[in-house]
Amino acid sequence: MVKMESAIVDHLIGNILSVLATEASLLWGVRDAVDNIKNELKGMRSFLLDFDKKEAANEGEKLWVENVRDMAYDVEDVIDEFMYYINIQRTRGRYAQFVHQTIYFPQNLWVRHQTATKLQKMNETIKTNSKLSKKYHVDPIQGKSSEDIHKWVVRHAESSLFAGEDELVGIKDKRKQLMMWLMDREQQQTVISILGMGGSGKTTLVANTYKNDAVKRHFDCFAWITVSQKYDVEDLLRCMIKEFYESMKETNPSDLSSMNYRLLVSMLVSYLEKKSYLLVLDDVWDTNVLDELKVLLRDSYPGSKIILTTRNEDIACHPFVGKPYVHHIQLLEQDEAWELFCKKAFLSSPNRSCPPELKSFAQELVGKCEGLPLAIGALGSLMCSKDMPQWKKICKSLNWSLGNNPKLQRLKSILLLSFNGLPNQLKHCFLYCSLFPEDHEIRRKRLIKLWMAEGFVEQVEGSTLEEVADSYLVELTFRNMLQVVKRNELGRPKRCKMHDLLRELALSISIKEKFGVVHDGGEEMKECNARRISIHRTDGEPKSFTGMSKLRSFLVFNRSLKTLPSRSKMLRILDLEDAPIEELSDEVFKLFNLRYLNLRGTLLKRLPNSIGRLLNLQTLDLRDTQIEALPRGIGKLQNLRHLIMYRYTRNGNDFRRAIGMQAPSNIGQLKNLQTLCCFEAKGDLIGQIQRMTQLTSIGIGNVKEADETDLCISIQNMGLLRVLAILVTNEEETLRMDALPSPPPNLQNLSLTGKLEKVPQWFRSLQNLKYLGLQWSRLEEDLLPHIAALPHLRRLSLTNAYVGKQLCFNTGFPELTDLEICNFPQLNEIIIEKGVMPNLKCLCIFSCMELNTVPKGIEYLQNLQELYLKSISMELENRIKGEGSVDLPKVQHIPKIYIW
């Protein structure tokens, strides 16, 4: 059984606390009932935490746990329905509220009484269930416990020590690298961490290296210790002593079992003195065990080495015995994956080769594993001795069936270890990612806003919800539950994705726990009992969306869907990105519990004033719609935190690459707004935003010279600002910002589009800046000396920013990784001095037609990985790839060169 119920109850308790924190006047008549049920749920949660320590042994236990989940959902429904009713009252005008509270007072009273009665009945049901829990609570030694599964996984890991050489694929080069490190006595680092997701081959690689005779001859003694999730430090020390003694062919001490921690440590310290040793700590899940062991290993004899394997980057980087060297284990390449699959699937074939008639099916199955060795091996073993009809059937319908197929049980158990090891709030966040399509690259900003809207993110003192959600995402990537596809200039994940196997695992859990379902067009949509639904494919327009009254999230990833769910008044999330919707029905603006509304990429041309009814809305995304102006109703959305309201033009070379929307004059009333990107300056709007002191990101278009004073005062008031984008009204308008005495202290991302008469004097103060974009600045003075010393600048994008003929990078730029030079009409020379930009990885030069040679000194950029040249002179192109190729030797060290 998957351990989700305590997470569900945890989440509900958090939501109730949030409700209790609301205005007392809104809760009269029900507050005591809500408070009582909160206390009962806390008691139930403690039962569930005990229950999490073992697997269900009988149907009675399973039934009890399912009842707990369903009761939690029922409580959530009652509370959400009540808050829906409360919000109806709040959206009415003052006169309508007066009429409702007087003429309709009996009805108002009846709703509150009915809600309190429902909660009281549920309270009694929960108490009854708590008593039943004692009846169903079995002794931990009965049934198959999580301890049994833990022991099974440990045995599986240690079996890697006995794997034959012919069974292994794709580790020769990795083993060679690891052996070189182990046998290098000059290497000062004592610890190497092998990091990768579950089933990626960490243990197999280390085991194959560990048992190599050449490696063993290099050390006096050696020990292999499997730590895993559940460990006893004293038992680990005893195992370590036994392993070290046996490696020296010495008799184990007879009184080990009676020794305490102090005696065991003392024995090990004494034994290892003046010995070079190799110690493997396999499958480490937390840093506590490292801290407890380092007391005996910190003064290692020169030449001693420690290897640890882990799924968690925090553990891999933990300063255990000095700073570790972290080796990220890569998944198998396509040819390696094919070789491993054939070894497992075609045992009876000559040379274990794939029969021609099965090749297309086999290739399809290997592709589904995405290079994960454990998955490839498990699937290959499953297909062994299957006939042609079975191959066809499995290829057509493979969803891994992790819960039903005994041959895939090993795979499921190892992946479940990672899931069950997550904190409760991260379990919800991880499952939510499975609602995105297979191989979908999930935007970080989108994901954390969705988590916030669902209520998954805990409030932490001193941090915003966005910062806490960001830490959740980082934690999931550190645990290898999500894969980072792209990082931004700040080094944070920008896009991530789920490995197909982890997604299938998450989907199976989501369906079982009624957490969420995916509709992929396989069959007609029927009644939905899940709290969340994601539409991926539909066979034409769905006939109905019945049974959706309990929905909390509705996500669309289908570009043909035009019908929205009806009778889903509890919705918190409506994500319609890229759906071909031209108009929203009035029903959407009655979703008073809605917290997230994503209309990005839709065909909407206007937003009605009734948007102001959505008082709980946190995120409104209107990017790349056809909306030009927002209604005054926006000013009523006091809980709004993120307002995204711009569209990109088709031509990226245009002066106006992005166009903001016209904001209403009351936009300054949104005191909780953090993101406002971007609006068109008009009237006194720039002065209005002075009061929006919570902003962390802002974009302003249509700025004029005359706006300088208001603009600089407003920016100066935004002490939390991290992202700032300013765009003037046209190419000839001058951008004046000299009245800004100093930039916001936390500014990390700055984009200025417009003519600059000189470099702003405050540029040198941008000590935290990581991205700088200057477009159409046409500066006559050299910009580079003003920014070369910025300590954290990682990305620099210059478009028509300088009218000079020469750019000389003669000092600084210590952290710069990306440099883009675009549309410099007179530039004919770029000079890079030795030692400047030592970390540059990507250089782009676009539309610089007067530049006839590669940058002088480009050969000094030894870390450069990519060079992009677009719309360049024929002479420059020929100097790199033409017959002369005189500049080719200067760029041969660059792995990837692209020329258009």
DSSP-assigned states of every residue in 363-427: HHHHHHHTT-HHHHHHHHHHHTT--HHHHHHHHHH-S--TTT-GGGHHHHHHHHHHHHTS-HHHH
Q: How many CA atoms, within 13 angstroms, populate the side-chain half-sphere of residue 215?
A: 25
Q: What is the pLDDT of residues 625-651, one digit of tens each?
A: 999 999 999 999 999 999 999 988 766
How long a stretch of residues is the chain? 900
Q: Residue 321: helix, strand or coil by DSSP?
A: coil
> What pLDDT is recorded for position 281?
93
- 866 pLDDT above the threshold of 70: yes
- 321 pLDDT above the threshold of 60: yes
57 pLDDT tier (thresholds 50, 70, 90): low
> What pLDDT is recorded for position 818?
94
> What pLDDT is recorded for position 407?
59
Q: Is the peptide bond between 342 and the residue preceding it cis, with omega within 30 degrees of 0?
A: no
- 51 pLDDT above the threshold of 80: no
Outline where 434-561 has alpha helix (H): 444-454, 465-478, 500-512
Sheet strands (E) in 741-811: 749-753, 771-775, 795-799, 806-809
Residue type, 487: R
Q: Give the C-alpha separation, 16 to 76, whole Å.
A: 8
Q: Give the C-alpha separation, 227 to 642, whole Å.
A: 44
Average pLDDT, the chain: 83
437 or 389, greater pLDDT: 437
Sheet strands (E) in 498-631: 517-519, 532-535, 553-556, 573-575, 596-598, 619-621
> What pLDDT is recorded for position 104?
43
- DSSP 8-state symbol, 852: -
- Mean pLDDT of the 430-458 span: 93
pTM of the model as a whole = 0.79
> What pLDDT is recorded for position 93?
53
What strands, in cross-sheet order, belong to the sheet with 493-497?
A: 442-443, 493-497, 483-487
78: its two tokens: 């009652």
By the 10 Å C-beta count (0-12 exposed, 13-18 middle, 19+ buried), 608 is classed as middle
- Mean pLDDT of the 594-608 span: 95
Most confident of 15-24, 472-481, 508-517, 843-852: 843-852
Residue type, 565: P
Q: What is the pLDDT of residues 684-716, one digit of tens each?
A: 899 888 889 899 999 999 999 999 999 999 999
- Mean pLDDT of the 467-481 span: 89
Q: Are 20 and 34 in contact (CB under 8 A)?
A: yes
What strands, in cross-sheet order, belong to the sheet with 277-284?
A: 221-226, 277-284, 305-310, 191-195, 325-328
Most confident of 762-771, 867-876, 881-890: 762-771
Residue 318, phi then psi, degrees to nearest 5: -65, 130
- 105 pLDDT above the threshold of 50: no
Q: Give the C-alpha separation, 39 to 341, whole Å.
A: 53
Angle at 769 between CA 763 and CA 770, to 5 degrees: 135
- 719 pLDDT above the threshold of 60: yes
- Range of weakest confidence among 23-27, 463-467, 652-656, 708-712: 23-27
Most confident of 91-95, 198-202, 443-447, 486-490: 443-447
Q: Give the C-alpha separation, 407 to 719, whole Å.
A: 58
> What pLDDT is recorded for position 1?
45
100 pLDDT tier (thresholds 50, 70, 90): very low
Q: What is the pLDDT of residues 135-153, one digit of tens each?
A: 545 443 343 444 554 554 5
Question: Strand 442-443 and strand 493-497: pairing?
Answer: antiparallel
Residue 180: how many CB atoms within 10 A of its CB? 10
- Range of weakest confidence among 138-142, 389-393, 474-478, 859-863: 138-142
Helix (H) or strand (E) holding 866: strand 866-870
- Mean pLDDT of the 106-113 span: 66
Question: Strand 532-535 and strand 493-497: pairing?
Answer: unpaired
522 pLDDT tier (thresholds 50, 70, 90): low
Most confident of 30-39, 118-127, 286-295, 847-856: 847-856
> What pLDDT is recorded for position 103?
43
Q: Are 364 and 383 in contact (CB under 8 A)?
A: no
- Range of weakest confidence among 529-533, 663-667, 742-746: 529-533
Q: Are 802 and 823 in contact (CB under 8 A)?
A: no
702: its two tokens: 């249509």
